[in-house]
Amino acid sequence: MQCLTLWLVAGAAALAQEPFTVATAIRKAWRDQSGLKAGRAMAEGKREEAAGFDALKLPTLTLQAQGVRTDEPMQAFGMKLNQSRIAALDFNPSSLNRPDAIMGFGGSAVVQQPLYAGGRISAARWAGEYTAQAESASQTRREQETAMAIVEAYFGAQVAEQALLWVEDTRTWILGLEAFAGARVQQGLMLESELQRLKAVHAQVEAQKADVIRQVRAARSGLGLLTGSAPVEAPLATPLQAEGAALSASTLVPIRADLQAAELQAKAAGQAAKAAAGSLKPEVGLELGAGTLRQSWHQGGTWTWAAVGVKWKVFSGPDRARSNAAQAQARAAEDMRTFKQQQAEHEVRVAREALRAAEAKHAAAREALAASEESKRLREARHREGLTPLTDVLDAEAALQGARTLLLQSLYDLRISRAALDLATGAPIEGVTL
């Protein structure tokens, strides 16, 4: 049993450390993040509301039960009439004016069916349906925006981890240079001030390492927050530098989810305006009912009725104001749809320009890194031969660190720019779909 427990614990630890791809992170966020769960609940609520609007066209059944005891003259006479037990003595003025208390129990069933409501029922049903669809589209957009945030956090963590590796390389290099300089100082071939300068640089590298470690932990914690879990500890398996040159979004992509939502919201507002205007039109309804009032289980009366009624608010200031307000909201929704379309076109243009700039920056960063590495190699060789002062070597190392930072930032910008273009055009980010 103990061996089995140890095996299960070891298996769980191994599973927790399985490589964690960006696609896995995105799907985990879609599944587990509380913010997106709340969005799904909102979309479900809108669908239920739409189902309620759809049910407005169905008949309404109302059941009522009651028990009565009264000696009020008119009600007492009416109860006897409803119980089918009126007799000649009940018309005696004394009995009519001062009746004995009478008791009864009964109930009724009423079915009401709207026949015409000025188009309000149909308009309300479509408004509810469009609103539910708009909320679902908005949820899809929230998922895409979350995917974009995942890409930023995921590759941000990778950038921080690569920076940590390079800081460690610099630390190892500076330790070796310190040892070399210490030996030269003991031989009297180098000034003590040069060694102290190296120790100062070493301290700066240690401080830089501590800061980068903080960045790594913060990035992994943020990634865990976005995916709905604790800080991510597993290895990040998707490389920062994407394979293949063409990862940018195609122009043949479906309409953006937020644009779908805006269009559906405009349609919903238009139908809501129709529903509000319908309140100023006549209503026609059918009512069928049956009732009974009993003196006992075996004695009493029953009755039925059927009615068709028409009601028309010829003038209602509040209803007229609500109709005008709904029409204004419909115009606002349509204008917002147009603006969002223009905004989306602007975002696509900006994203394409950002991608071009990121590609150019990456190409320049690669050249800068190659040149910095060669410069450092040459200066180190000349320094060991005593031909170059230590400051030149340290300057070359600083330039190399800057080139590495530029390359990392360019790789990150390139990856993020491609994802941003996908988000702007509505394409699946990193090719990930549900």
pLDDT at site 243: 63
pLDDT of res. 416: 94
Q: What pLDDT is stored for residue 55 in this prediction? A: 84
Beta strands in 312-390 (DSSP E): none
- Please give the C-alpha separations between residue 343 and each of 275, 331, 334, 377, 425, in angstroms, as whole numbers: 31, 18, 14, 50, 11
**Torsion over CA: 212, 214, 220, 223 (sign):** negative
Residue 7's pLDDT is 36
Please report the pLDDT score of residue 252 as a whole number: 47
- The predicted pLDDT at position 253 comes to 55
Q: Report the alpha-carbon angle 311-314-318, nearest 5.
A: 105
pLDDT in tens, 356-397: 999 999 999 899 989 888 888 888 888 777 777 877 878 887
Quick one: pLDDT at residue 378? Answer: 87
pLDDT at 92: 83
- 195 contacts 185 by C-beta, under 8 angstroms: yes
| Mean pLDDT in consecutive groups of 10 residues from the start of the chain, 434 residues | 38 56 94 94 93 87 93 86 82 83 92 90 92 95 95 93 87 83 80 82 89 92 92 91 54 77 95 90 93 89 92 87 92 95 94 94 91 86 79 81 86 94 93 86
- Report whether 401 contacts 378 (CB < 8 A): no
